[in-house]
Amino acid sequence: MKLSDKQVKQFETEGWLFLPEAFSPDEVAALRHDAEGIYAADRPEIWREKNGAPRTAFAAHTYNEGFAILGRHPRLIEPVEQLFGEKLYMHQYKINAKAKFDGDVWQWHQDYGTWLRDDGMPEPRAMNIAVFLDEVFTYNGPLMLIPKSQHHGNLPAGHDLGTTSYPLWTLDNGTVEKLCADGGIAVPVGKPGGVLMFHGNLVHGSSANITPYSRKIVYLTLNCISNHIRKPTRAEWIAHQDFTPIEACADDALLQYAHRHRQQAAE
């Protein structure tokens, strides 16, 4: 899948791009089923909120076939290769949950700030590309983005170890207020199967989910081979150290998996 000139321009200016319903209901249904099974498992890769609700599941592509296929899918790999102009490897893979009623906040932050400080990534030549597994509304803890904030580069941040169960390099309120005065706030919402991509320095966060509507999003952090991490401090299943270039699978590979998944469930 290739981006149009208009889409490339929007990404370069605003720092983000949303592609509605890039994956079919059948493809998403199989992944959603698998995600629930993963959240129910007892694995070190699964982080939970302080109240026990699932928060994020790392490295699902290493132990689940459906998410392994998604991690090589051309609808995700090709647009990022197009923008960066080189082959990619998987720096991080996670399924973020905002459990109904219990999903906690993600404070305002830049992802590259963590990749630089915790992983030794030289440049912001990595990108999150996300797939909605549930419908994302304006009220169930959607991702909030500050357009154009990536142009400010890597901003000073403090290491917040207490607000949530997950440590995060966060921005102070004054910085966020100044950035919003320039770029405002964008809230990408849409049906399951939508794809969101955003620059590593784009400031973003999300509020708690107090609604009865769960919100699950898969994030692939795709990094340029030449930009591989140099000084990792986190577990390999959080910041991968296999820099093998990703070779995209067939475009129908996930659909075929979904059909097998549905057939097995019917038997």
Assigned domain for 142 exists: yes
DSSP state of 214: -
Number of structural domains the chain divides into: 1
Residue 222 near residue 246 (C-beta atoms within 8 A): yes
In tens, the pLDDT along 51-109 reads 888 889 999 999 999 999 999 999 999 999 999 999 999 999 999 998 899 888 888 99
Spatial neighbors of 20 by CB under 8 A, at least 6 apart, are: 190, 191, 194
In tens, the pLDDT along 153-181 reads 999 988 877 776 677 788 999 999 999 99
Assigned domain for 6 exists: no
CATH of the domain at 113: 2.60.120.620
Assigned domain for 3 exists: no
pTM of model > 0.75 = yes
| Sheet with 158-160, side-by-side order of all strands | 143-145, 204-206, 106-109, 168-170, 158-160
Interatomic CA distance for residues 220 and 80, integer angstroms: 11
Assigned domain for 9 exists: no
Q: CA distances (Å), 219 to each of 71, 93, 240, in order? A: 9, 6, 14
Domain that holds residue 166: 17-266
Assigned domain for 68 exists: yes
At residue 135, does pLDDT exceed 80? yes
Assigned domain for 11 exists: no
